[in-house]
Structures are given as structure tokens and as C-alpha cells.
Amino acid sequence: MNVALATSEIPTGRDELWRYTPVDEIRARIERSVNASHIGPVSVTRPLIDALTGTNRPRLVFVNGFHAADLSDLADLPAGVRCGISDPLHADDTDDADDPVVADVALVAIAEGVRLDAPIHVVHVAVPDPLTEHCVLSLPRTVIEVGEAAHLVVVETYCGLDGSMLPTLSNTSTTIRLGDRARLAHYRVQTESTTATHVGHTRIEQGADSVFQMTSVTLGGDIARNAVEVHLDAAGSRTELAGISMTSGSQRHDTVVTVDHAASQCSSSQRFAGVVDDHGRGSFNGEIIVRPGTTATDAHQSSRNIVLDANAEADARPWLRILADDVRCTHGATVGRLDDEALHYLRSRGIALPQARAMLIDAFVRDITDAIPHDSVRSHVAALVGAAAAAPIPVEPHR
Amino acid sequence: MLHIANLHVSVADQTILDGLDLDVPSGEVHAIMGPNGSGKTTLSNVLSGRDGYHITGTVTFDGVDLLPLTPEDRASAGVFLAFQHPVEIPGVGNMYFLRTAVNSVRAHRGLPELGAGEFLGVAKEHMARLAMDPAFLSRSVNAGFSGGEKKRNEILQMSLLEPRLAILDETDSGLDIDALRVVAQGIERLRSPDRSMLIITHHTQLLDDVRPDRVHVLQGGRIVRSGGPELAHELEAAGYENLPSEVSV
Ligand SMILES: Nc1ncnc2c1ncn2[C@@H]1O[C@H](COP(=O)(O)OP(=O)(O)OP(=O)(O)O)[C@@H](O)[C@H]1O
Ligand SMILES: [Mg+2]
């Protein structure tokens, strides 16, 4: 299969979609990085992957962008479902060994009319190099193709080694194409280590009357960017985006969403919740474009954020470019604090402050976790979010 | 059991409680009445450990200084406040909340944790006595509850947590006749020699059912009169303005 890869170029000049991202710092980190090598670290084992992502099958596992067949498990795939690696287009088009190299491209494809309810897992593990201690740069690539009227569920996981103090940098790209009347539920879970840099980009192209549902969960990384770009180029398609981002320590999370309504009778919704704690920073940058000449567009966006600590910061920026008349569009952005009265209420019943706080943080993102229709994914995400909510309360002075 | 002496409470330079003295001995039920805005809720908030107040004076519970304790430590020590306005907490399941609260307090008392199934049984038993539909367990804490339902949920928490000092801030307000009786029974059931209660109310109905040992009048930031249960009816007939301002604690 011939695949065109979306790029995740880091801009050189001013770019509104990179407004909140520390571009210079990311560039500096790239400069200091070494390319991931094919000789995968031996420390990554099947039990480790199980522990990081659950024992779910089928799964395709990649370490620093390289396919790890021994960690993958593709038994019993139904007919019409392809799951494996595809040839990269960009490899070997340069002689400069210092240029980052796209390793293996994950490919999940489902044929016309085929329906698969069980989620397929694509796992990308970012593993540092304990020998050189240099930042390891990898370029994970994923392509998901959903044939006409096919139904598919994909869970993409980006994880690292728990507690690793060595840096990694993942510049990821996922390209998703839905045929006419196709349906994809897509989850993107990022739990890389807090020394990781994650620059993620997901591009979605939807056919007529297709339905795309995505829930992203961003918990890991030191600097993490989650960019999602949806192209509604055919009439009657629907896209529903939801996401949770939670920071602590000095993490920075940027969520950047563009929904481009280029066809008529399309609807889109965006529901994002951000929790920033300690010295963390979170931003939501959500763009809605409605192209001239389109009709009957429905576009909604909401970004809710809570700031848990005086040192934390949240920004929410809706960016609407409505160039047509027949549009129903709503948007709202809030930045608030934890409800003191609710916190006191819980504590007055004997629930200790850290747990009371965790309950309220969990409640804040609950509508998004509860809305996940796939049981195994919902409980996995709920557990991750619950653990993040229960992270220790920062104490002053910091560190 | 509860000893309050010369309690001064202010918020942003506004004095709300101004030298309040109150003693509630073990096993007794006391009522506090007083005009709107006289500081009854402020007193309960201060006892529950709500922050945001400037406080001076003495508050001890069983001889222990209550003021430095966190709200959760007070709850574990046996202090319970039924809030005048219970907070709605969407996203936190009532069942999970109740079980976490009960287990937190149990842990503090050296009792084993109740598992989900075990707790459900206990909760349903208590709810049946309070004529509460078990469906309230599967909803978020107080979210969308009617005024009376919220008050019943407070009494449910009280009966599950078995406090040693229960402060009920207008738990009888907004209740229908049946609910009022259920609440009165809930209070009576908890009444015991090693438990004290402070009932804040504007009405005499509940006091007729519960028969407090003492009734106090809070006005101008302090207790201005104390008496037996008959004082409640005297107040109802005369109003606060015509109350002789003798102090008899
Ligand atoms: N946080 C606050 N900031 C400013 N004023 C406050 C605050 N809390 C209470 N007050 C004021 O203190 C006074 C006492 O309030 P409180 O709620 O304790 O009265 P109450 O006796 O419970 O009244 P009610 O019978 O209406 O419930 C009121 O005048 C109130 O406006
Ligand atoms: Mg009050």
C-alpha cells in the first residue's frame, strides 16, 4: 500500500497553532538528540508491555518507531483486517546519516464493509539509551485506513519506561482515512515518562457520511503536544473529539485542534478538559474553519480547565473562522479552580485532603471518561486518570 | 463534651461571632435558635473546620483543642455537620462517596474496611429506615436532589458515620411532614449517653419531637438566652425582638 505520511514539521516562524508550544526548547532538544537505532533495547519485554498497556490483543508494538514483532500479537485477526507494517516513503531519500529516519510505519486497515468491535492496539514505546544517556529521537508513524462502510476501533498508546530519568523525544504522526459511511472509534493515550518530549500529530480525512470519534488522554511527557487535524471534505460526515490532559510537576501540555468544514451537512464537536497542577501548564487551542459555500454546518467546541495550584497555568483559546452563513456554532472556554465548598464537604465526612481532591479532579473529567463506549478502554483510561488525580499534592517550596 | 468559650469569629473585618460561650455535655441534645444572619451557620462551619475565618477563643471536644484539627480529623474524632445547604458534587457517585467516608472514619477508629458489597447492604438498611430510595446511591452526590432529598442524604450520612457530636444546621427546613418525622426518628435513634447533638432550627416542630435538653438563643454574635424546651415556644410567640435580653447560661 502506498501511504502518504502527514508531517509534523516544527515551524520556524510564527504559527498560531504553535502559539503555546515552547518551540525553541523543542528545537534545542532535537539538536541534542541522537536517532533511535534498530538495535532495540533489550529491557522491553512482553510482561513490561502488558504492564504498561494491559494485556489486550490484538496489538502491534513499536519500540522507538521500530516494529517489535516479538512483542506484537496479531493472532486471530478476522478476514478483511490488515495489521502490520508498511514501507515508509521517506526512508533512504537522504545520505545524511544524521537526518532523522522514519523506521517502520504501523498500518491498520479494514476492508470495505467489514466490522470489528474489538479494539486493535497500536503501542509505541519510547525507550531511552542508558549507555550514551543522549536524548533518543524517534519518529513513530501510524496509518489507519477504514474502508467504505467498515467499522473499526483503534487504541493508540504512547508510553515510556516508568520512572526513567533519561530523555526521549517522539515526533509522531498518525494518518487516518475513513471511506464513505465508515466508522472509527479512535483512542490516543499518551503516558510517556516525565522526561520525555512528545510532539504528536494526527490527521483525519473523512469520507461522506462517515463518523469519527476520538478520545485523547494526555498524561505523560515533560513537554507534550497533541495536535489533531480533521478534514471534513465530503458531505454528511460527523466528527466527535474529546480529550483529557492532566499535568503536574513542571509538565507542559498543549492540545491543538483544527476541524476544517470543507463540505456541507457535516457536524463536529470538541469537548476537552484540562487539569493543571503544581508548576504545570496546559493549553487548548481549538480552531474551527467553515469554508465558503458550505451549508448546514454544526460545529461545537468546549474547553474546561481547572487550575489546582497558584503556580500552575491554563490557557484556552477558541479560534473560529466561519466563512459561511448556514452554520450553527457554539463554543465555550472556562478556567476555574477546584470547588472549595465541595472539597470541604468531602473532608468534613472524614475523607483526607489528598483523596478528596483526587475525587473532585476525577469528577471534573468524568463526563469524558464515562462517555467511552468500549468497556476495556474505559476502565483502562479511568484507572490512568484516577492514578494521575491521586498524585501527591505539591508542597511549597517547590523541590 | 463540647466546650466553647469566648469564641470570636470574623470574616474580612466583619465580626460575626462576638464572645460566644456554649457547653454541650455528653448525652445532651441542645438547640440553637436565632434570627437570620445571627451567625448560626458560621458557628457550625467553624466547628466543622471550614477555612476562611479569623478565629480566637477556645473550642474543645472531649478536652481536645478542636481548632488546629483539619476537617477530616474532626470528622474522624466524631464531629459531624449536617449542612444547611448540602453541596452538589456532579461526577462523584453517592455510593462511592458514602463508602469512602465510612471507611475513612472506620480506619481512624481501627475498624476494618467495608467492601463494596458489604457496604451496599449496610447503606440499604439505613436508607430503608429513612424511607430513601436506594436509587439515590447511583446518582452523583446531591446533584439534582430536591431540597428535602438533600436533607435526607445528610441524615443518611449521619446515621452511617455514627458521630459523637452531630450538628444539624436547619436540617428541618424545607422538609415535608413525613420527612420531618423521619429526620426526628433518625435523630432519636442516635441519641445516646455518649453522643451529643446541636440542632440549629427556626421551627418548634422538630423540637417537639426531639425534646432538647436545652434551647439557646444566638443573637448579636453570642448566646443571649438559654432555657429548657419551653423557651422555643416562648420565642415563637414573642419573636426575637421582644425577647428579654437577660443572659442565663
Ligand atoms: N464569608 C462571608 N463573608 C462575608 N460575610 C459573611 C460570610 N459568612 C457569613 N457572613 C455574614 O455573617 C452573618 C452570619 O451568617 P450565617 O450564615 O452564619 O447566619 P445564620 O444565623 O446561619 O442565618 P440563617 O438563619 O439565615 O441561616 C451574615 O450577616 C452573613 O452575611
Ligand atoms: Mg444558617
In this structure, the strands spanning B29-33 and B196-200 are parallel
What type of residue sits at position A318? P
What is the pLDDT at residue A101?
A: 67
Name A67's bridge partners.
A62
Write out the three cell numbers for A194: 516525565
State if residue B34 touches ligand 1 by the CB under 6 angstroms criterion. yes
Is residue A270 assigned to a domain?
yes
What is the pLDDT at residue A99?
A: 56
What is the pLDDT at residue A393?
A: 76
Which tens digits make up the pLDDT trace of B90-132? 999 999 999 999 999 999 999 999 999 999 999 999 999 988 9
Cα–Cα distance between A297 and A192 in angstroms, integer?
A: 37
A367 contact residues in B (CB cutoff 8 A): 91
Distance A290 CA to ligand 2 centre (A): 52
What is the pLDDT at residue A52?
A: 81
Residues B97, A353: C-beta atoms closer than 8 Å: no
Is residue A347 assigned to a domain?
no
Residues A363, B71: C-beta atoms closer than 8 Å: no
Is residue A257 assigned to a domain?
yes
SS3 A357: helix
For residue A391, give the nearest of A246, A175, A197, A268 by alpha carbon. Answer: A246
Distance A317 CA to ligand 1 centre (A): 38
Q: Tell me how crowded residue A69 is: count the other CB atoms within 10 A of its CB.
A: 13
Is residue A387 assigned to a domain?
no
Name A284's bridge partners.
A255, A316
What is the pLDDT at residue B241?
A: 81
Q: In chain A, whose CA is at the least distance from the CA of B52?
A: A340
What is the pLDDT at residue A6?
A: 38
Q: In chain B, whose CA is at the least distance from the CA of A342?
A: B87
Is residue A301 assigned to a domain?
yes
SS3 A213: strand
Residues B104, A348: C-beta atoms closer than 8 Å: no
Report the alpha-carbon angle B46-B50-B51, nearest 5: 105
Residue A11 gets which letter from DSSP? P
Contact A226, A191 (CB under 8 A): no
What is the pLDDT at residue A244?
A: 98
User: How far does B206 lie from chain A, in Å, by closest CA?
Assistant: 24
Please report the sign of the dihedral spanned by the C-alpha atoms of residue A375, residue A379, residue A382, residue A388. Answer: negative
Phi/psi of residue B177, nearest 5 degrees: -60, -40
Residue B47 gets which letter from DSSP? H
Number of domains in chain A: 1
Binned at pLDDT 50, 70 and 90, residue B245 comes out as: low
The residue-averaged pLDDT of A309-330 equals 95
What is the pLDDT at residue A369?
A: 96
Cα–Cα distance between A64 and B92 in angstroms, integer?
A: 39
Is residue A349 assigned to a domain?
no
What is the pLDDT at residue A92?
A: 47
Binned at pLDDT 50, 70 and 90, residue A39 comes out as: low
Cα–Cα distance between B37 and B155 in angstroms, integer?
A: 24
| Residue, of B135 and A132, whose pLDDT is higher | B135
Give, to the nearest 10 degrees, the angle between helix A353-370 and helix A375-389.
Answer: 150
What string of DSSP letters covers A234-278? STT-EEEEEEEEEE-TT-EEEEEEEEEE-SSS-EEEEEEEEEE-T
The residue-averaged pLDDT of A327-348 equals 96
Name the one residue in this structure whose C-alpha cell is 472509534. A185
Is residue A281 assigned to a domain?
yes
Is residue A75 assigned to a domain?
yes
Average pLDDT taken over every residue of chain A? 90
- pTM of the entire predicted model: 0.91
Cis before residue B212, ω within 30 degrees of 0? no
Name the one residue in this structure whose C-alpha cell is 446541636. B198
Per-residue 3-state assignment (H helix, E strand, C coil) for A279-297: CCEEEEEEEEEECCCCCCE
A253 lies in which domain range? 7-340
Walk across the sheet containing B64-65 and list its strands: B14-24, B2-11, B54-61, B64-65
Cα–Cα distance between B31 and B26 in angstroms, integer?
A: 14
What is the pLDDT at residue B247?
A: 47
Per-residue 3-state assignment (H helix, E strand, C coil) for A45-103: CHHHHHHHHCCCCCEEEEECCEECCCCCECCCCCCCEEEEEECCCCCCCCCCCCCCCCC
Contact B65, A311 (CB under 8 A): no
Walk across the sheet containing B165-169 and list its strands: B79-82, B165-169, B196-200, B29-33, B214-219, B222-227
End-to-end CA distance of chain A: 51
Nearest CA owner, ligand 1 atom 28 = B37
State if residue B37 touches ligand 1 by the CB under 6 angstroms criterion. yes
ipTM of the complex: 0.96
A353 contact residues in B (CB cutoff 8 A): 70, 72
Contact A345, B89 (CB under 8 A): yes
Name A293's bridge partners.
none
CA atoms within 13 A on the CB side of A90: 15
Which tens digits make up the pLDDT trace of A133-182? 889 999 999 999 999 999 999 999 999 987 778 999 999 999 999 999 99
Cα–Cα distance between B112 and B92 in angstroms, integer?
A: 23
Name A300's bridge partners.
A269, A330
